[in-house]
Amino acid sequence: MNLNRFGKAFFVTVSATAITGLTLTACGSDNNSGSSSTNASGSSSAATDCGGKNALTAEGSTAQQNAIAVFNQVWGQKCPGKNLSYNPTGSGAGVTQFIAGQVDFAGSDSALSKDQTDPAAKRCGGNPAWNLPLVFGPVALGYNLPGVDNLVVNADVLAKIFTGAITNWNDPAIAALNSGASLPDQKITPIYRSDSSGTTDNFQKYLGAAAPQTWTKGAGKEFQGGAGEGAQKTAGVVQAVQATPGAIGYVEKGFADQAKLTVAQIDNGGGPVALTDDTTKAAIDSAKISGTGNDLVLDLNALYSTKAAGAYPLMLATYEIVCSKGYPADTSAAVRSFLTVAANDGQAGLPAAGYVPLPDSFKQRLLTAVKAIQ
pLDDT score at 180: 83
Find the mean pLDDT for residues 206-225: 96
Q: What is the pLDDT of residue 259?
A: 96
In angstroms, the CA 13 to CA 211 distance is 40
| pLDDT score of 280 more than 80 | yes
Is the pLDDT at 29 greater than 50? The verdict is: no
Report the DSSP pairing between strands 33-34 and 37-38. Answer: unpaired
Q: Per-residue pLDDT tens for 249-275?
A: 999 998 999 999 999 999 999 999 999
User: 349 and 220: one domain?
Assistant: no
Is 109 one of the annotated binding-site residues? yes
Share of the chain above pLDDT 90, in %: 74
Q: Is the pLDDT of residue 95 over 70?
A: yes
Q: pLDDT class for 223, splitting at 50, 70, 90?
A: very high
DSSP 346: G
Q: Which residues of 259-298 are buried (b: 16+ CB within 10 A; e: fewer)?
A: bebbbbbbbbeeebbebeeebbbbbbebbeeebeebbbbb
Classify residue 3: in a domain, yes or no. no
Q: By the 8 A CB rule, do 347 and 357 touch? A: yes
How far is the C-alpha of 154 from the C-alpha of 174, rounded, in Å? Answer: 9
For residue 170, is it within any domain?
Answer: yes
Mean pLDDT of the region 71-84: 98
Q: Is the pLDDT of residue 12 over 80?
A: no
- Distance CA(118)–CA(124), nearest Å, equals 10
294 and 213 assigned to the same domain: no
According to the annotation, is 61 in a ligand binding site? yes
Residue 247 lies in a domain: yes
Q: Say if residue 182 is in the same domain as residue 209.
A: yes
Sequential DSSP letters for 110-163: SPPPHHHHHHHHHHTTTS-EEEEEEEEEEEEEEE--TT--S-EE-HHHHHHHTT
62 is in an annotated binding site: yes
Do 280 and 164 share a domain, yes or no? Answer: yes
CATH number, residue 95: 3.40.190.10
| Residue 7 falls inside a structural domain | no
Q: Are residues 260 and 224 in the same domain?
A: yes
In a domain, 50, yes or no: yes
* 1 located within any domain: no
In a domain, 209, yes or no: yes
Answer whether residue 9 shows pLDDT above 80: no
Residue 199 is labelled as binding a ligand: yes
* pLDDT of 46 higher than 80: no
Asked if residue 333 has pLDDT above 90, the reply is yes
pLDDT of 7 above 90: no
Range of the domain at 245: 139-284
The answer to whether 306 is a known ligand-binding residue is no
Question: Which whole-number Å values give the CA distances from 105 to 112, 307, 324, 362, in the listed order?
Answer: 12, 36, 11, 20
Least confident of 7-16, 80-89, 338-347: 7-16
Do 21 and 97 lie in one domain? The reply is yes
pLDDT at site 34:
52
**Are 239 and 331 found together in one domain?**
no
Average pLDDT score over the chain: 88
- The reply to whether 125 sits in an annotated binding site is no
Same domain (yes/no): 243, 195: yes
* Count of the separate structural domains present in the chain: 2
Please check if 345 is assigned to a binding site.
Answer: no
Residues 269 and 319 in one domain: no
Q: Residue 58: phi, psi to the nearest 5?
A: -150, 160
First-to-last CA distance in the chain? 32
Q: Please report whether residue 306 resides in a domain.
A: no
24 pLDDT band, cuts 50/70/90, is very low
Residue 277 annotated as lining a ligand binding site: no
Residues 278, 144 share a domain = yes
User: Pick from 245, 346, 252: which is nearest to 3 by CA?
Assistant: 252
Q: Of 105, 120, 113, 96, give the one whose Cα is nearest residue 71.
A: 105
pLDDT at 328 over 60: yes
Residue 115 has pLDDT above 90, yes or no: yes
Q: What is the mean pLDDT of residues 291-301?
A: 91
Residue 17 sits in the same domain as residue 78: yes
Query: How confident is the model at residue 26, as a pLDDT?
Result: 31
Could you please report the per-residue DSSP string of 350-371?
A: TGGGT-BPPPHHHHHHHHHHHH
DSSP characters over 31-42 = TSEE--EE-TTS
Check whether residue 92 and residue 216 sit in a common domain. Answer: no
- Look at residues 54, 15, 56, 17 and name the one whose alpha carbon lies nearest to residue 32: 54
pLDDT of 20 over the 70 cut:
no
